[in-house]
Structure 1
């Protein structure tokens, strides 16, 4: 740095000094003599003095960008994929963030966003053909993360429709069923739901479904109940999984909302994912045409193929929820002042933030590799289950630390973080509890099944 540049910087610093302070300084120091001394200083000494003056004048370094992608994993996306990711981010920031707390608090779903979301053209993103884009699972993961980073309820709505409902038809439907349903679902002209869990059957779904199906001529008669079925209060179709007592195998059905014997009641008083419209479904001699039976769903193994695919998406959702909480907390600590300083400048706060970032980065690298396995056709149940276990556990820890950093404000909905804390509890439990997913991994690494 030349002397001219140094003097220019000193001049800029002096411009920012209060005039009253300059007057006060002139009473203690001969400013003309001081400047004469400065002009005789070596370049090295002048640089040292400049650094000292910058530290004391409040001329701080610019604040770093708040960015939860510390290892820049998004740079592994192609330019086209990155553009799609940023398009989804803009949608979530502009259309969802301003209304998220309002709809969460009212426990209503913003129906007006469906045509807006349809314009993103991202439903069934990884499916090939049928109006779908055939993109990578990695991009799909980033999209799940971007949605959950703002609102886990919207991410869940999308995952149920695009992942569970469309995925059931894509993996288990006949060619005719795929040709008919997938294009209109991709355009979100028809919204789907997925009915597996029952009032008394959650983790034991593989061998204990109480909802039954029996064939009568060209129709199937379904009886039973399903619980916690997201989107089902307004969905056009619901994929219902039922056990056939004749062969004791699980079969899948596309049940339309106006099918006689189909009733969906909204579940009230949830503490998490309140925007998601979960339903208790009652099937009373509900008749479904053979045409609407998923032709390639003949056992629970076929159901498990759908769950394996979407469980990876839930791990990405956990990353999004954790990232959103971390970024909210970081922004808050940079603005919130106590004892005359931003709380981000305190050691204990920085320690918590780094702990959160470490957990988040570990989660991101795990799901990044998981999507690579999925794209290569090498993903297994235990791969998806380990990611679901680890990421939801670390997500819980991140949102807990984030709420702690908000202090009392952390329980107020207006600061957003309370919604993240509550929603994390749902993500932790659905798509297989921590214990069940742990046993799936345990079976793989020991060769011993610990299931009942």
Structure 2
């Protein structure tokens, strides 16, 4: 068999790792994003809005992209690798679109699917999988981000009901969500932290939108305010107590980021590569200069190493062998390298790199949020440091 020619779009031949169904899912999501997101994303980003969120959610539901790796209840039952490929293509359009899908599927739906009762699953999951219902995930608080054990949101019993008081911050989808998965510290031991399903419109519950963001502008972000919110006993997720519940959901979402961040990096790299081939200075395309080629080579190296790492973690997840520490490897490396690729791409585009006529600065600013959420750089470094040394440096 002859050696295939070198493909600048797939220099390592990583498509060889994918079967026809993988490729079909990837290409379907890529085509949808090209048709429904790319023509409008610069305008949405500039205005700081996502006016067609529910319309896009329903279309993503039709694609099977919501709760994609879950089974039953209208979910697609896709492999982890297929879900990852979808995340990559969605974030190649914009991190806000991938965040919509991740929060819906890997956080809210995953929590209900894994820890909910059968009644809760039947009530919420089919509509969420179809994009008819929107969910959000309330863990982060104004004063407690990296340390969820310090959460101040409280749940106390009142007869058979629960009363919730507290506040959550930086919650994707919350202003438009039909249901919020809220994690609260119960006042009774040994219950500890419990998860609650809070329907929109419940008295005492509100979700004001957060404005004045300079990152993830094409994403709806808000707070969760709980002021004496009364919930029936069947609102609690029955199958988990303690922080392992929300942390397991976060681990699932981080896996999608490992892939998604490489989508933002790929788009920025491709933009820089095309620009370098056509932009002329000193009488020749800037891609013909050694320093520009060095930048492009380094960007391609980190981009495709990151995609290869994502593939490896996806195969481990499909085999049931993926550890949280390994997800930390992927999240830490891929988001950090994606930001580096975007910044280098910006230098190749020069002043044009800051214009919304090109995608690079938009991806770079979005990735600053992705770098922070689902675990900061420092937290993942400490996760890996503990795993490598056996010594806990968190406190």
TM-score by length of 1: 0.83
1:317 Cα deviation after fit: 1.5
| Alpha-carbon separation, structure 2, partners of 1:303 and 1:85 | 29
Instruction: Provide the C-alpha distance between the structure 2 equivalents of 1:249 and 1:277, rounded to a whole number of angstroms.
Output: 30
What's the C-alpha RMSD, in Å, of the aligned pairs? Answer: 1.5
- Would you say 1:426 and 2:373 are equivalent positions? no
Query: Which consecutive residues of structure 1, in runs of 5 or more, have no partner in the other structure?
Result: 1-63
CA 1:276–1:65: 2 relative to 1, 3 Å: farther
2:170 aligned with 1:228 = yes
C-alpha separation in 2, matches of 1:156 and 1:335: 33
Look up the SS of the partner of 2:175 in the other structure: coil
Aligned residue in 2 for 1:152: 95
Return the alpha-carbon distance in structure 1 between the equivalents of residues 58 and 68 of structure 2: 17
Q: Report what 1:97 is aligned to.
A: 38
CA distance in 2, matches of 1:93, 1:320: 13
Distance (Å, rounded) in 2 between the aligned partners of 1:309 and 1:188:
20
Deviation at 1:237, TM superposition (A): 0.8
Pair 1:310 & 2:253 matched: yes
Check if 1:84 corresponds to 2:25. yes
Aligned mates of 1:277, 1:436 — CA distance in 2: 25
Write out aligned runs for 1:15-54 (5 A): none
The yes-or-no answer on 1:351 pairing with 2:351 is: no
Rounded to whole Å, the distance in 2 between the matches of 1:329 and 1:209 is 43
More deviation in 76-85 or 99-108?
76-85
Q: Tell me if the contact between 1:131 and 1:182 (Cα under 8 Å) persists in the aligned partners.
A: yes
Distance 1:66 1:73 in 2: 11
- Pairing of 1:106-185 with structure 2 (within 5 A): 106-111=47-52, 112-185=55-128
Asked if the contact 1:66–1:327 (Cα under 8 Å) also holds between the matched residues in 2, the reply is no
Query: CA 1:192–1:68 in structure 2 vs 1: closer, same or farther (change >3 Å)?
Result: farther
Alignment gaps of 5+ in structure 2: none
Match in the other structure for 1:70: 11
Where relative contact order (Cα < 8 A, 6+ residues apart) is larger, the structure is 2
Is 1:262 paired with 2:229? no
Please list the CA deviations of residues 265-288 of structure 1 after superposition, one character each: whole Å capped at 9, or x if unmatched. 111111110111110221100112
Cα distance per residue 1:297-318 (max 9 Å; x no partner): 3111122111111111111111
Pair 1:243-2:182 in alignment: no
- Alpha carbons 2:79, 2:318 under 8 Å: kept: yes
1:203-245 residue CA offsets vs partner (Å, 9 max, x unmatched): 000x211101011123211101100000001111111010012
TM superposition score normalised by structure 2: 0.95
Q: Distance in 2 between matches of 1:155 and 1:425?
A: 15
Native 8 Å contact 1:66 1:330 kept in 2: no
Work out whether 1:342 is the aligned partner of 2:289.
no
Greater CA radius of gyration, 1 or 2?
A: 1
**Closer, same or farther in 2 for the Cα pair 1:241/1:230, shift >3 Å?**
same
Name 1:441's counterpart in structure 2. 384
Asked if structure 1 preserves the Cα contact closer than 8 Å seen for 2:139 and 2:246, the reply is no
